[in-house]
Amino acid sequence: MSTTGATADPLAALGSLPGVADSVESVRKAVDRVYGHRIMRRRSNEITSEAALRGARGSAALSGADWALEEVRRRTDFSAEDEARTVGAALRLTAEAGQLLSIWRQSPLRVLARLHLVAAADRGDAVGRPRQSGEEVDEPLVELPLPDADEVAGRLEGLSQLIIAGGSAPALVTAAVVHGELIALRPFASHNGLVARAAERIVLIGSGLDPKSICPAEVGHAELGRAAYLAALDGYVSGAPEGMAAWIAHCGRAVELGARESAAVCEALQRGAA
């Protein structure tokens, strides 16, 4: 997205797009419902752990490794083949995200570099830094136009400034923009989708919308399907108001589905305790 223009807070301005306020309110209600579940008072750590596992599985599925949840739960070696490495990277990112909350608001670019380092530790000197001019990007499931390295650097700096400045934008709007911008830019040589979804998670947790990380948007993105995900991203990349609003609504629906998933986990734990 462009980070220049007449408004001093472009993220907040996105909150006034048609339909966005409804998405924000719907997400808030969905999150409040799962946080209000009686099982959360006694077993919230279990819900958080299960949400992390399911979120990692969903993110990996969108990056081409669509494994059954029980396979992710069972497997211990994630180094054997490409899909296994993708799942392993998603699991590492989900675990790392919660450790970076205190750094995010002061140095988002440092956090993004760390996320890429965690995801792509075996990629040599291209790890943990934005791609340079002429470097290829390994992101085969995303076919959007690829900005050059200079544009990437400028837009990353603009995004960083917006996050550091804060503002009044709803958490959903900020999370959707961070996610969409990172996919649009693909600033790293690999693992950009995984990093983008981990960054979305950090925003949702750090904003206070989902402080216990029990509403995994990645689950919802995977449930809505890759085709819908890519179509919504097209809307974001277009920069048109209706396209931006559609992407934010898509991310909102993903959070709602993540909340529904954790509500189902709560219900299962409650039945088991009865």
Query: H-helix or E-strand containing 62?
Result: helix 40-62
| pLDDT at residue 105, rounded to an integer | 93
Q: Which residues, other chains included, contact 254 with Cβ-Cβ below 8 Å and sequence gap of 6+?
A: 217, 218, 219, 220, 221, 223, 224
| pLDDT at residue 79, rounded to an integer | 87
**Collapsing DSSP states into helix, strand and coil, what is residue 107?**
coil
* Token pair in block for residue 9: 């807070």
| pLDDT at residue 111, rounded to an integer | 98
| pLDDT at residue 5, rounded to an integer | 42
**Collapsing DSSP states into helix, strand and coil, what is residue 123?**
coil
Residues of the chain with confidence (pLDDT) below 50: 2-6, 274
| pLDDT at residue 80, rounded to an integer | 81
* Token pair in block for residue 259: 């909340």
Q: Could you tell me the maximum CA-CA distance found in the chain, to the nearest angstrom?
A: 60
How far apart CA 114 and CA 108 sit, in angstroms, is 10
| pLDDT at residue 127, rounded to an integer | 87
3-state percent breakdown (helix, strand, coil) of the chain, nearest 5: 70, 0, 30
Give the HSE-up count for residue 192: Cα atoms under 13 Å, Cβ half-sphere: 28
| pLDDT at residue 9, rounded to an integer | 84
| pLDDT at residue 259, rounded to an integer | 98
**Collapsing DSSP states into helix, strand and coil, what is residue 205?**
helix
68: left (phi over 0), alpha (psi -120 to 50) or beta: beta
| pLDDT at residue 274, rounded to an integer | 45
What is the per-residue pLDDT across 106-129, written as a single tens digit (0 to 9) for each? 999 999 999 999 999 776 678 889
Q: Which residues, other chains included, contact 217 with Cβ-Cβ below 8 Å and sequence gap of 6+?
A: 55, 175, 197, 200, 201, 204, 251, 254, 255, 258
Amino acid making up residue 153 = A
